[in-house]
Amino acid sequence: MKYEVEVLVEQYLKNNYTWMLKKFFLPSNLCVNELKNILVVDHGKAQIVDQACLFYTMLCKDYLRLYNRNELDGYTQFHYAQLVDIFGIGYRGVLDLLLAAGLLEVNQVNPETGEVKTTGYYSKTRATAKSYRIPKRLHELGKFYKTATINTLDKVLMNKIARLKGVTTDQHLKREYYRNYVLAQMNQVVLLDNDHSRSVIALECAKRGVAYTDEYATARINAFNFDPVKRSVICAFGTRVHTEITNNLKQMREDFRFGGDSSKWEEIDLVASQPWFLSIITPALIKKFVPECADAIPAFKTYNRHPDLLRFRRLCADPDYGIYEAFRDAYNAMYGAQFTRADAKRICFRAFYTNYQKHEKLTPAKCAVRVQRACDALAAVEESHKHVLCFGYRYQRHEAVQQLQAAKKRVKLAKSLLFSHQCITMFKAEFRGAYDLLAEIKLLPWDFERGTKTFYTKYYANPALLAQRMEASIVYTVVVKALVDAGITRIVTIHDSFCVREQDAAQAKKIIKRAFAQLKLKPSLK
């Protein structure tokens, strides 16, 4: 049996066209004529209908995410700038028409205070954002969206789509050739619709406790292939390239293909890449690849010859018994646990990137008390929840469910705090030199552009920022450049790994090793 996408993919591979595959996504019970009747009369421009279809495309795609999280009553947040990109400065008038016609709903309730605003609740963390959703009556049971072909892509619509993709606001990164080269390759990738890709989606549904249907699998795969707003981002924090390939399930990667090429992929990965990139940082590499972080150079000079830091670096470079194995064994010995190497990745990330200042004020006993109190509170809420479900009114049952979810979240947070404290304590005891180095870096006031604006800058994330920027700069300005210069032009990156065609893999590995060797670096590949 050939699925619909398989036939389209075959056509794509033969003809190598891009925009012909792109489609609008609309709610199952909404037709374009209905939008025309509501919008064109008031605005007098047929273009506004295409713009509304673009808006619904984003809502329908996010509806898949909400389904995957068992949050079908959830909303999709839109920053006002996105709405301007879609509808222009008159976006409020368009949305008011859709709301009045019952074709759209806005989140009116502040989830923390319960305050109701009929014009829509502004997000606490993003005061210029509101959240919208498609009314349930527009969703046909079991259907996630229907597609409408984009007949013409005029310059206005193409510019809107380009802005919504929102690669980056950093002018330097916009001009950086090899990041943009990889982004262009990623935007040409096709996901095959076959039994394997569907089985991967089915396993994910089972893991999340979500009902799997063939319609859902079709919607997921079509969304990847047909979405005109396949978002591509060079993140401001780590300057990595993020696309829907990087955000997709790892098991799905064998079903990706480069546009115009039916060859299978082979992924070339670096062993223990995140700790390794953190361990190879030197003053010289900072000056060359991450000059904006030059304030960290004195700290590296101070600890450069510390025995614990040298041992940390040796373990990060060891392909047989490396840093993950060392962290696993040290954690198990200290806490009587039975963690595996896979679990050790969690230990590493908590040990490296958690807020040290916060944990200096804590003790294992204090963390354990928090866990116990949260568990006791959950037990009490569960008992009350059972009683209310049996004898309470409807509004009481709704409140009881919310209280139970909040109590479970508090238990999860308390256990997470304890685990983080244990990881930091172990790291500090085993690798004091590396710990002290990271602690100093976490205090540096790096206030350059680093991504999402919050109420305070998370300086404790500085080591992650430094390591990711180092990784991205080396990957794109050195390694990818070497691959492309050698004629391996079909390449995408998934952070620290390189996906190439199967027939190019052996040559690519040699080029990657040679490129790192020019910097006197020797990563282990797998």
- Average pLDDT estimate for 475-488: 93
**pLDDT of 426:** 95
d(CA 225, CA 85): 23
For 252-316, the DSSP string reads GGGGEE-TT--PPEEEE-BTTHHHHHHHT--HHHHHHH-GGGGGGHHHHHHHTT-HHHHHHHHHH
Q: Three-class SS of residue 494?
A: strand
The residue with tokens 């979405």 is 227
- Average pLDDT estimate for 453-462: 79
**pLDDT of 175:** 62
pLDDT at 181 over 90: no
**pLDDT of 158:** 74
- Average pLDDT estimate for 499-519: 94
pLDDT in tens, 54-104: 999 999 999 999 998 888 888 898 888 888 888 888 888 889 999 999 999
CA distances from 270 to 273, 319, 415, 493 (A): 5, 10, 31, 12
Give helix then strand counts, H and E, for the chain: 23, 12
d(CA 246, CA 493): 8
d(CA 210, CA 190): 25
**Of 196, 331, 181, whose CA–CA distance to 256 is shortest?**
196
Q: Residue 351 in contact with residue 423, Cβ under 8 Å?
A: yes
Q: Element (H or E) spanning 198, and its range?
A: helix 195-208
Q: Higher model confidence: residue 45 or residue 505?
A: 505
CB atoms within 10 A of CB 476: 23
Q: Kindly state the tokens that stand for 389.
A: 């479900």
The residue with tokens 């509501």 is 38
Q: Three-class SS of residue 129?
A: strand
**pLDDT of 15:** 42
Question: Which pairs count as long-range contacts for 8-14, CB under 8 Å and 24+ apart, including other chains?
Answer: 8/225, 9/190, 9/192, 9/193, 9/225, 9/257, 12/190, 12/259, 12/260, 13/190, 13/257, 13/259, 13/260, 13/261, 13/262
Least confident interval from 337-346, 444-453, 473-482: 444-453
Structure confidence at residue 235 as a pLDDT band (50, 70, 90): confident
**pLDDT of 391:** 60
pLDDT at 439 over 60: yes
Q: Kindly state the tokens that stand for 99.
A: 């709301």
- Average pLDDT estimate for 295-304: 94
d(CA 295, CA 39): 54
Q: Element (H or E) spanning 364, and its range?
A: helix 364-391
d(CA 159, CA 343): 45
**pLDDT of 149:** 78
Q: Element (H or E) spanning 97, and its range?
A: helix 91-100
For 386-398, the DSSP string reads HHHHHH--HHHHH
pLDDT in tens, 100-126: 999 999 988 776 666 778 888 777 655
CA distances from 92 to 38, 84, 158, 175 (A): 15, 9, 22, 34
Structure confidence at residue 159 as a pLDDT band (50, 70, 90): confident
pLDDT at 313 over 90: yes
d(CA 40, CA 46): 6
pLDDT at 138 over 90: yes
3-class SS string, 406-475 = HHHHHHHHHHHHHHHHHHHHHHHHHCHHHHHHHHHHCCCCCCCCCCCCCCCCCHHHHHHHHHHHHHHHHH
Q: For residue 247, report the phi and psi dihedrals to the nearest 5 degrees.
A: -90, -5
pLDDT in tens, 18-41: 434 578 899 999 988 888 888 876
Q: For residue 251, report the phi and psi dihedrals to the nearest 5 degrees.
A: -65, -15
pLDDT at 453 over 80: no
Q: Indicate the length of the chain as a whole number.
A: 526
**Of 491, 489, 481, whose CA–CA distance to 519 is shortest?**
481
**pLDDT of 6:** 43
Burial 167-203 (b: 16+ CB within 10 A, else e): bbeeeebeebebbbbbbebbbbbbbbbbeebbebbbe
- Sequence-distant (6+) residues with CB within 8 A of 476 are 176, 178, 179, 182, 241, 493
Q: Residue 156 carries which side chain, given as an amino acid letter? A: V
Q: Kindly state the tokens that stand for 227.
A: 């979405």
pLDDT in tens, 389-412: 666 555 566 677 777 778 888 899
d(CA 371, CA 258): 49
Q: Residue 284 in contact with residue 300, Cβ under 8 Å?
A: no
* Residue 403, Cβ density class (10 Å: 0-12 exposed, 13-18 middle, ≥19 buried): middle
**pLDDT of 389:** 63
